[in-house]
Amino acid sequence: MAIIQARLRYGVEYQGEMHYDVDLRLPMVADSIAAIDEVGADSNLLFNLALTARCLTKLGGMPAEAITTDFLSANLVDDDFELLIDMRNALKKKRINAKSASLTTVKPSSSSAATD
């Protein structure tokens, strides 16, 4: 599983202690489904926050179960949230297969004989 690490600029406070170091994994479809189930699909910001909460595998020394959408919405500075989105995009970019098959259009061969 691909994980990217970074350090938040502003960090989050949890139980009187500041936490800055984060590990983020690439979100999967199941994460997106769970995020929609939690917050709905009306707000892209809430969806991305819920998705991010599921993909943070480390946030300082916080226990994993404390990293929730509600916690992040109340404690995460917007600039740090943007960093987490940038991290997710960087993971996606690393995963792209440069030699992947792409859809191509093939011109069907003509069934009629050439005329002179």
Q: What is the mean pLDDT of the chain?
A: 90
pLDDT of 101 above 60: no
The model's pTM is 0.81
Cα separation values, 76 from 59, 65, 69, 96, 114, Å: 11, 16, 10, 29, 69
pLDDT reported for residue 19? 98
Token reading at 67 = 């990293």
Q: Where are the domains of the chain?
A: 3-95
| Cα torsion through 93, 94, 99, 103, rounded to 10 | -30
| pLDDT band at 2; cut points 50, 70, 90 | confident
Token reading at 56 = 């943070």
d(Cα 115, Cα 51) in Å, to the nearest integer?
61
Tally Cβ neighbours within 10 Å of residue 101: 6
| pLDDT band at 49; cut points 50, 70, 90 | very high
Question: Which helix (H) or strand (E) is 53 found in, with range?
Answer: helix 44-55
User: Which of 9-13, 93-97, 106-110 is the most confident on average?
Assistant: 9-13
